[in-house]
Each structure stands twice: as C-alpha cells, then as structure tokens.
Amino acid sequence: MTISGLGPHGERAAPPERVTLLPEDKAAANARGFRVAVVLHTLESDWARQQLSGIVGILGDCGTAVTHVIDCGFSPSAQVKALDGLLAQRPDAVISLPVANQEVALAHARLAEAGIKLVLLDNAPTGLLPGTHYGTLVSADNFGLGLIAAEGLSPYLPQGSEVGLLGYAADFFATNEREIAFTQWMQTRRPDVILRQDAFGRIDEATRRTEAMLAAHPDLAGLFVVWDTPALKAAEVLRSHPLPIPMATVDLGEEAAIGLAQGTPFAIIAAQQPYLQGVAAAQTTILTLLGRLTPAWIALPGIAVTRANVVESFQRIWRNPAPQSVLKAVGLID
Amino acid sequence: MAQDLIEISGLARGKGRPRVAETAAPSLVELLNLIRADDPTTRQELERKSELGRAVVSDRLTMLADLGLIDESELGTATGGRAPRLVRLAAKQGRVLVATLDQSALGVGVADLSGKLLTEHHEAFELTAPPQALAERLTTLLRWSLERQTSPEGLWGISLSVPGTVPGSAGDFLTRTPAVLPAWEGFPLVEMLTRSFAAPVWMRSSVDTMTMGELHGGAGQGLGSMLFIKIGRRIGAGIVSDGRLFRGAQGATGLIGALPVHLGDRAGTLDAMAGSDMILREGRLAAETGRSAFLADHLRRGGEITAIDVAQAAQMGDAACVEILTTSGRLIGQVVATLTNTLNPELIVLSGSIVQTNDIILAAVREAVYGASHPLVTRDLRIVRSQMGSSAGLVGAARVGAELLFTPEFLKDWVMQGSPLKHPGFAAFRAGLDLAPPPPAPSPPPSRGMR
C-alpha cells in the first residue's frame, strides 16, 4: 500500500488491516449490544451510500445497532444541531464526517466531553486531537488522489497550455489535500502548464464557476474538479464548449463512470474505495468501543481509473456490475 | 480621542511635559498584555492588576479599542449590579502564518493573534532538498493557507519551527537567516519570506515549539512543570518550569541527543544509539537476515524499509522489531530518568512519528524512569505519548508568534500605530530589502484571482 499524504496532524498512515476484527472482538461486541449513530455530509451521493453500506453491514455483524443516520446536507449549522441532539440520545459512539473546520469543531468536542466515542471520516477539524477528542480518522489518501488526477490529466495538456482547478471553498481536509497535491504535481512535473484556480462554496455553484472560468480563460486545455458531484455540473458546461476539454475528478460515481467510458469529458478519475472505507470505519468503531488501541489515521489508497479499466474498477469499488451504458460504451456488449 | 493622540504623536515635540501619547505606550503595553494573559477580563480587574487609576485605564482602553486591538462588545455575568463589560484581545485583527520544517515533512497553518491554530496542512518533504526548493514550496503553501482564509484580516507575522537550535534569546524579529542547517549557510530564507509576505519572521527550534504546543494545546495544559522529549533522528528535550519554556542563555537547552550512553560494550551518543537512524539500520539488518519476518516480507515485495515501518512492525508483534524499539526506549529512558530526578516534572510527554506509531518506546521509557528515580519524583509523575503529532509544532509556533508580537520590547514600538507592520525597525528592514538586489525569486504562486 502506498500512501502519499500525511494525516491532519502530520501522522503517517496506518493500513486498514490494523483494525481487522478477530472473532473474539465480534463476540465481545455482540455481548455488549452497542448503539452507534452515523452523521454524514449527505446521503445523496453514491459515495455516501456505499460508505454507509460498509458501516452498517459490519456493525450488524457485531450486534451493534445503528440508531441514527443523519444527513447534514453539507450544512455546518445542521451538523452542529444534529450532534447536539445526539448528546441527549447518548449513543455509545458516533461516526461523523465533519462538514467544515472551525464551525463544527466544538460540537464534535462536546461529544467527547460527554463520553461518547467519536470516529471521524475524511476530515478532522483543527484543534481536535486523536486520543483526546476522537479515536481515529478514516479517510482515503486524498493527497494521493490529487496526484493521480494530475498525472492522468497531464498527457492531455499541450505544452504551455492552461489547466483549471475547481476547488471547494470550505476549509475541508480531504478537498484541501487533493487541491494541494494536484497543484504540487503540476508545478513540479509540468512547470510549463499555467494553473487557473477557482472554488465553489455549494455544489450548485459549480456550473456558474465553470462558466466563469471558461469565460476568463477560453483556451483552457483541461479541468480538475475536486469531487464527482460538482464535476458532473462542470461536465455539462464543458460538453457545450466547442472544443473538447478533458476532465479529471475524484470518485467513480455512476454518472462519472459513464462519462469516462464514453471518453468525454472525463479522461481520468481518481477513485476512492467508499465501501471498504465504511468497513474500516465500522471496525475502528468496534475496537474503540472495546477499548483497544487504534491508530490516529487509517488511510485507503486511491485507484487510477481510465476508460481502459473502468469496468473492473467499477466492480471493485462498488461491488456491483458496471451499468449497461458503461459496458456498451467500452464495447463489451452491443 | 485616540486617533487625535496618534496624530499628535507624529508632530515634533516641543519643550515642557511630554504629551499624553508619548507617555501612553508603556501603560498600553502593560494593559494589552494583562488582557492577553487573562482573556477575557474586566475593567475592574485591569485597574486592580495594573494599579493604574480608573480614568487612565478607561482612556487607554478607548485608545486600544480605537486601534482595533481589543474588543469590549460582550457582557459578562452580573454579580449583583450591572453586568460588567468583558475586555478581550481582538484576536481576529491579524493573522500569523506558521510552519514546521522537519527532516521529512513540512507543515503549514494559520493562527489568530491569541495563538489559536485555525487551519493546518502537512505533507512529505525531504529537508535534504536544496534550500531554494524548500523556500519555493514553503512560500507556495503559506500563500495557499493565507488565501484559504475567508476573512480579510492582515498578516502580522510568520513563525517558523525548524529542526535545530536557533541561537539567541531576544524576541526580535529576524533580519537574516540563522544557519540552522548546513545547507542554509548564506541562503536568504528569512529575507525571501519577509519580501514575499511583508511581515516579520521569527524562528524557534522544533523542540521549543513542540514543547510550547504541548503546554498550551496538549497534555500539558494548565501545568507548571513538564518535560517534553522529541524522538527522531535527533533526540531533544524541552523543559517547562513555572509554566514557561526554559530556553537557557543561548536558546540551546535540552540537547540530550549529544549525551554519551552505553549498551554492553558499545558506546555512542544518544542520537546514534537510540535515534531513528539506529532503528532504521537495525530494522534493515533484521529484514536482510530474516530475523524480522514482517520486514523480510516487506523487502521481498520491493518495499523500501523506513524507521516507521520498523515501528509499525513492532506494534503488530514482530519480535525483532519489538527488541529494536525496546533498546531505543531503554537508552532514552536512562537519560530521561536523570532529567526527571533533576527537574521533578509533573508530566513527561514523548513525541515523534516513531513514538506515535506504537507503545513500545513509551513502555520502555516508563520502565527506565520509574526504575531509576527517587520515589518522591515518580509519586505523581505521568509519562504519556503526545496526541498532537506534528500539530504540536504548529500550535507552538503559533503561540511563539503571538507572544513575540506582544513582547513589551517589540510592542512598545508599534502599539501606537496599531499594527506591527508599522514598527519603525521592521519598516526600516523592509525598506532596506527593497533597496537590495532581489534574491532568486521562488516560482509564482498559482493564480487564484477569481476566488
């Protein structure tokens, strides 16, 4: 396993194998009958659904009830309200994806103060410490995902061309890492390429920001958007552009996979493994509840997906057959 | 009124009594530091602690508020009469950029004026790279961090944590780059950062900043005495006494890695006998000879062994790696026991990537310290592993930056102007840099003009 990035506190990554559950762990958890709440940024994306599936399945194996599944709709205030509401419900543990940095840090800290175990997904707000406020952060190697996107997009960028980077305006560990890594790779490996950057605050702004970027830089030769849901909005804009503009993004959602298989506009997708990440998060939660030592940061490597390996990558990531439209687009069925 | 006083202060002084603005600076400095030390406080508390009259305190607080340095918008809890108005440092008035430069990683962040870290990022970077490459990456990341801030507050300073002793104990901002590393000899890192960001630069050793970080943001919060041990290629100690970092005469305290230790018939410095170079060397040997099944397998698969791999293998139960780390921990523990008997700390914090990967070094140090210390010294002693990782360096650098901005010697020369960027000495330094030929410029940062 190669992990390129460092954790939110500069930690070196531990592999997910570090939280493998032994039969005696499962037996102990089953005997205790824990209650766990899951607080996600959204439940609307393929990524979130797969992650939840991994979490719920493993917790079920361990006799642990998932009592709440909360969709924060990317809203820091909704997340603070949800977490404060959970204080009264007193679950044994909360698995949470903090949707922002400073705005949600104290609400997460209040869970720890109340004795509720906390496992974080993808983001650790500044000031929260492993072992003090939360047990473990489970995330993809987001720095590595940004490097995969840059390296995969590079062959499509002519010498001296311009490349766009559409980032996320929120201060969020995962997207920050992808953005920094993409920029670093371009600056060191393709210094001839000129970076044009912009950011969206909400997903529905991605269309407008892409249009603005194209208007300001009509010669754009490629675009990286930090995850797939806003990337689909950007792709709609690029499809109406007179010249093809290849794109890179993160997460192999179904629609992005179809776009990749069709060869336009997606050229490369740096994929996370959300189901396995959910599994690792649930295993970590069980070990934390049993009082076992867990690493501060568990990271799962990214997968470089191109048109050439989109079918097997889809199967590997989603544990489902690739959609018919993907199979047709790559010529595996008529 | 404060604005009038500031403007008056710029005029040539005549004979007679000094003007109010000229005598106000010492009391402004004193009050501002009382507010920082006891944030939030009240006017009554400030009158009591400063022993200044009510009218003087009221006047100075008005001046500080007009300069944007304090905030009195919040009410405290009433204890009978009217609720007192709380006096706080306006921590959001300015920002401090912070960075940690470690042997194999670079960390950057942004803090407010109270020293609270607001955001951070860490990435792998080999410090053996040419200093120009380091300066370019550091500049890019610092600029990126600053641009991520949505609020428009200005940058007031840059505080760096570096892997070596920074000579000198004064709080002055740097006007040239100390040769912390041999490769930095003659390289104008400080000058380049001052030019790029137009803000004063401070520098402290990583042991100093991490100790400060642990004291103010980690396990040492609220304690008066603490021993902080950083374990990496070099092994260093940070000493906290009476709630303050002890820096010695030259800022060169805690260099315990240079102490001689013995293991059987072998002798060497603690750095050489117990640091991460030893762990790596012994780990590789264990892999090549097959003594470590875990590392031998890693090697067969084409993996390159690092000291972290040895530590992770030990945590997973590999006997040869457990032995390597136990040896390291015992040697470190012998030296730490001596310090413990000398200083009688309430808390010992072990830090560094290898320590954080497993509990074996922690256990070995505990065994050595408890076995070799006076019972009174160990009666209430706690020995823990840092939970902060490299964040300790950033939190500490933020704290160092915030403290140095407000040291009385520095503050008295800028408080009347409301910003350290208008400090006469710093303004003169910047003007001199502008006149000097420019150093080789780092690559331009990525354009974020549309943001």
Q: pLDDT tens for residues B169-190?
A: 566 899 989 888 888 888 999 9
Secondary structure (3-state) at B11: coil
Q: How far apart are CA A119 and CA A284, in angstroms?
A: 8
- pLDDT exceeds cutoff 60 at B13: no
Three-state DSSP class for B164? coil
- DSSP code string of A227-271: SHHHHHHHHHHHHTSSS---EEEE---HHHHHHHHHTSSEEEEEE
The three-state secondary structure class of A135 is coil
- pLDDT of the residue at B10: 38
Q: Which of B142, B125, B116 is nearest to B213 (CA)?
A: B116
Count of CB atoms within 10 A of residue A51's CB? 29
The fold for domain B93-208+392-435 equals Nucleotidyltransferase; domain 5 (3.30.420)
Q: For residue B439, what are its two tokens?
A: 């150093």
For A11, the closest of B118, B123, B356 (CB atoms) is B356
How far apart, in whole angstroms, are the C-alpha atoms of residue A210 and residue B209?
Answer: 42
Does the distance separating the beta carbons of A126 and B109 come in below 8 Å?
A: yes
| Mean pLDDT of the B62-76 span | 89
Residue B151 per-residue DSSP state: S
List, edge to edge, every strand of the sheet that includes A136-140. A65-71, A35-40, A93-96, A117-121, A136-140, A297-300
- Averaged confidence pLDDT in chain B: 87
Least confident of B109-123, B297-311, B330-344: B297-311
Collect all residues of chain B within an 8 Å Cβ-Cβ radius of residue A6. 105, 122-124, 390
Sign of CA dihedral B53, B59, B63, B68: positive
- Domains B93-208+392-435 and B221-387 equal at CATH topology level: yes
> What pLDDT shows up at residue A4?
86
Q: Do A5 and B148 touch (CB under 8 A)?
A: no
Two structure tokens written together for A10: 């500069």
Amino acid B170: pLDDT: 60
* CA gap B295, B283 in Å, rounded: 7
Contact between A132 and B387 using a beta-carbon 8 Å cutoff = yes
User: Which of B104, B112, B123, B390 should one mutate to test binding to chain A, selecting the residue with the greatest count of A CBs within 10 A?
Assistant: B123
Q: What top-level class would CATH report for the domain B221-387?
A: alpha beta
In the predicted model, is pLDDT for residue B366 greater than 50? Answer: yes
- Say yes or no for a CB contact (<8 Å) between A165 and B150: no
d(CA B144, CA B137): 10
What is the rounded distance in angstroms from the CA atom of residue B152 to the CA atom of residue B95?
10
Output the pLDDT for position B266. 92
User: Is the interface score ipTM higher than 0.90?
Assistant: no
Task: Name every residue in B having a CB less than 8 A away from some CB of A.
Answer: 100, 102, 105, 107, 109, 116-124, 137, 140-141, 144, 148, 150, 217-218, 308, 312, 315-316, 353, 356-357, 359, 387-391, 443, 446-448, 450-451
- Report the predicted TM-score, pTM, of the whole model to 2 decimal places: 0.85
- Which strand (E) or helix (H) includes residue B118? strand B117-124
Q: What letter does residue B60 receive in the DSSP assignment?
A: H
Inspect the interface and report whether the beta carbons of B390 and A9 lie closer than 8 Å. Answer: yes
Cβ-based contacts of B143 with chain A (< 8 Å):
none
Higher pLDDT, B1 or A122: A122
Q: Is A81 helix (H, G, I), strand (E, B) or coil?
A: helix
Per-residue confidence (pLDDT) for residue A132, from 0 to 100: 83
pLDDT of residue B4: 38
From residue A285, give the alpha-carbon distance in Å to each of A14, A116, A136, B243: 15, 11, 8, 37
Nearest 5°: the CA angle B202, B208, B213 is: 95
pLDDT value at B446 more than 80: no
Residue type, A293: L
DSSP string, A1-59: ----S--TTSPPPB-GGGGPPPHHHHHHHHHH--EEEEEES-SSSHHHHHHHHHHHHHH
Q: Domains in chain A, please, with CATH?
A: 16-139+274-300 (3.40.50.2300), 142-272+305-329 (3.40.50.2300)
CA distances from B318 to A148, B127, B232, B292, B328 (A): 33, 30, 21, 6, 16
Lowest-confidence region among A59-68, B54-63, B70-79, B268-277? B70-79
Q: Which of B100, B141, B387 sits opposite A129 (nearest CB)?
A: B387
Query: Is residue A101 pLDDT above 80, yes or no?
Result: yes
pLDDT band at B8 (very low <50, low <70, confident <90, very high): very low
CATH class entry, domain B2-89: mainly alpha
Q: How far apart are CA A217 and CA B383, in angstroms?
A: 57
| pLDDT interval class at B447 (50, 70, 90) | very low
Summarize pLDDT for B191-200 with one digit per residue, the tens: 999 999 999 9
For chain B, the domains span 2-89, 93-208+392-435, 221-387
CB contact under 8 A, B218 and A293: no
Question: Degrees (nearest 5) of the Cα angle B371, B376, B379?
Answer: 75
